[in-house]
Amino acid sequence: MSGQLSTTILQYLQDHDFITDTAQFAHETAAMQAALASLAARNMIVYSHLEKEIWSLTREGGECLESGSHEARVFNAVEQSLGGLGPSAKFGQGAAFKNGWIQKDGSVFKKKVDAITDKTQVLLTQVLSGDIPDSKTLADMKKRNLIEKSKQISFRVEKGPEFSLEIKRQETDLTAELLQSGAWKSANFKKYNLAAEGAIPQGGALHPLNKVRAEFRQIFFEMGFQEMPTNKFVESCFWNFDALFVPQQHPARDMQDTFYISSPEKALLPSQDYLQKVAQVHEFGGYKSIGYRYPFSNEEAQKLVLRTHTTAISTAMLYKLAQEGFKPAKYFSIDRVFRNETLDATHLAEFHQVEGVIADYNLTLGDLIGFMQRFFEKMGVTNLRFKPTYNPYTEPSMEIYSYHSGLKKWVEIGNSGMFRPEMLEPMGLPKDVRVHGWGLSLERPTMIKYGIDNIRELLGHKVDLEMIQKNEAVRFDKTMGREKGAMEA
Ligand code: PHE
């Protein structure tokens, strides 16, 4: 509590019983209110609010009070600059003419009188001292932006039942010492302030990626998909690459692109039979393929990596499906994958992949395109384009583009394809089973949705926790995105 101000108030009340208006103390309202509230809490005073409208000078008004009105400055400028009007010309020229202070002689301004009285300045002095001019003058000054009306809050104060000049110490806790010494009997206890606002409890909050992930999961469940287990961040090269018919010399397997694990050194191999079939198709082909024709290395297959795509999981799930006796299936997963990337505003060494696979008899590329359209439409993204591309494990393969009306261009939103027979048949899947697969990043739609353009603001130590706490739940706009696409919302 500001002791000085409280003492002033108490002293004044001692002598006068009332303070009719605390404005007389010319003190800041907030400090005054704090001092009064604290004294009132001890019942030393009682106070009430007063609210008055007062006229005060605007910044411009204050300037005119100090340096003269614009018209007076124009008048002075004419004298000093031999005919020009100076910087106040715009505001003061009219009045200076109207007052008959200056005239124009050809292109030169001249004084018409020798001396002037700056009435505006005089009026401003009056307003400041509370001497309010007539309403027409007021309105005129207001129009010239010299004065403004503002509210002044002040207080009326009188003595309270516990009034005294001395502010007694108040106990906030009933302590063991107070009880033992008996001092509690005469102690002055502070009242509970039941109206005080409590501290806002901090709750957990979902990260934007988790919110967008929840939306994707919902869409997958709506469309009859089952979620795949994604708890293995470390995979063998066999499941991450070989089983997908990615040749062992493929550039994606470079250390520049993939993180290898040094310990443990080796993964277990899958069943001998399946390993043989995979090695065979790499080396010599089969299923109408000529293979890659290089010696397959089991050592290479046993190396461990941080999975570079969730397609490693889809592959293991398809293999399991084949082992258990094939039935049509729809699987999805959304989790982290790792790539040894150069880090920049849109790339980290890890990101989340949204992946789906559909396995059924005699699926066609048309089915895949149709499905993609329905899937993205559920996110509010319509108007897709497909562009042929290459993946070692799908044929045909298509990049998926959607038109982003904000960026005014087609942006790539996913990769897809039909898994190759060289990948599916060694698993033992029936020959007429076709499998669609597609993948996209979770980060991209999340960044677009939340208007974040640097990935470091979304993940990592630079993330603003307040942004995480306060950002809104996300909903893909499933009805209105027809032309626009919710990805850009
Ligand atoms: N694995 C691919 C990627 O990382 C996505 C994909 C999955 C493509 C399944 C085709 C089939 O981009």
* Residue owning the nearest CA to atom 4 of ligand 1: 309
**Spacing, Cα 437 to ligand 1 middle (Å):** 7
Nearest by Cα to 444 from 307, 378, 346, 322: 346
The answer to whether 336 touches 351, Cβ cutoff 8 Å, is yes
- 297: which DSSP letter? -
Q: How confident is the model at residue 58 (pLDDT cuts 50, 70, 90)?
A: very high
Q: Give the per-residue pLDDT at 352.
A: 95
Average pLDDT over residues 275-283: 98
Please give the share of the chain, as a percent, with pLDDT higher than 70: 96
Please give the share of the chain, as a percent, with pLDDT higher than 90: 60
pTM above the 0.90 mark? no
Q: Give the per-residue pLDDT at 315.
A: 98
Average pLDDT across the chain, whole number: 90
Q: What is the rounded CA–CA span in Å between residue 104 and residue 158?
A: 63
DSSP letters spanning 78-147 = HHHTTT---TTHHHHHHHHHHTT-EEEETTEEEESSS----HHHHHHHHHHTT----HHHHHHHHHTTSE
- Over the Cα atoms of the chain, what is R_g? 40
Ligand 1 within 6 A of CB of 436: no
Q: Give the per-residue pLDDT at 480.
A: 40
> Is this prediction's ipTM beyond 0.85?
yes
Q: How confident is the model at residue 156 (pLDDT cuts 50, 70, 90)?
A: very high
The model's pLDDT over 318-328, given as tens digits with 9 standing for 90+, comes to 999 999 999 99
| Model confidence at 478: pLDDT above 70 | no
Handedness of CA 330, 321, 399, 300 (dihedral sign): positive
- Please, what is the angle between helix 208-222 and helix 443-450, to 10°? 120
* Residue owning the nearest CA to atom 11 of ligand 1: 437
Nearest by Cα to 474 from 443, 444, 449, 437: 449
* Residue owning the nearest CA to atom 10 of ligand 1: 416
With a CB cutoff of 8 Å and minimum separation 6, the contacts of 464 are 457
Higher pLDDT, 59 or 380: 59
Mutation to probe ligand 1, out of 235, 311, 395, 398 (largest number of atoms < 8 A from CB): 311
| Position in ligand 1 atom list of the atom nearest CA 416 | 10
Higher pLDDT, 22 or 130: 22
Pairing of strands 433-441, 102-105: unpaired
Ligand 1 within 6 A of CB of 416: yes
User: Tokens 């980060």 map to which residue?
Assistant: 443
Burial of 2 (0-12, 13-18, 19+ CB in 10 A): middle
**Spacing, Cα 218 to ligand 1 middle (Å):** 21
How many angstroms separate the first and last alpha carbons of the chain? 50
Q: Which amino acid is present at 394?
A: T
Ligand 1 within 6 A of CB of 311: yes
Q: Give the per-residue pLDDT at 369.
A: 96
Tokens of 355: 């992946």
Q: Give the per-residue pLDDT at 120.
A: 92
- Could you tell me which residues are beta bridge partners of residue 235? 305
Average pLDDT over residues 215-238: 96
The answer to whether 219 touches 378, Cβ cutoff 8 Å, is yes
The model's pLDDT over 439-459, given as tens digits with 9 standing for 90+, comes to 999 998 888 778 888 888 898
Q: How confident is the model at residue 109 (pLDDT cuts 50, 70, 90)?
A: confident
Q: What is the rounded CA–CA span in Å between residue 84 and residue 111?
A: 11
Cis bond before residue 247 (omega within 30° of 0): no
Pairing of strands 409-419, 394-404: antiparallel
Ligand 1 within 6 A of CB of 248: no
**Spacing, Cα 443 to ligand 1 middle (Å):** 16
Ligand 1 within 6 A of CB of 438: yes
Ligand 1 within 6 A of CB of 333: no
**Spacing, Cα 457 to ligand 1 middle (Å):** 26
Higher pLDDT, 92 or 307: 307
Q: Please, what are the domains in the chain?
A: 3-56+151-170 (1.10.10), 59-149 (no CATH), 208-235+245-250+307-488 (3.30.930.10)
| Position in ligand 1 atom list of the atom nearest CA 310 | 1
| Model confidence at 274: pLDDT above 90 | yes
Q: How confident is the model at residue 80 (pLDDT cuts 50, 70, 90)?
A: low
With a CB cutoff of 8 Å and minimum separation 6, the contacts of 134 are none
**Spacing, Cα 377 to ligand 1 middle (Å):** 20
| Position in ligand 1 atom list of the atom nearest CA 355 | 7
Ligand 1 within 6 A of CB of 315: no
The answer to whether 140 touches 94, Cβ cutoff 8 Å, is no
* Residue owning the nearest CA to atom 3 of ligand 1: 439
Q: Give the per-residue pLDDT at 186.
A: 87
Highest mean pLDDT among 46-60, 85-99, 108-122, 223-237: 223-237
Tokens of 351: 């990101």
Q: How confident is the model at residue 349 (pLDDT cuts 50, 70, 90)?
A: very high
Mutation to probe ligand 1, out of 355, 390, 436 (largest number of atoms < 8 A from CB): 355
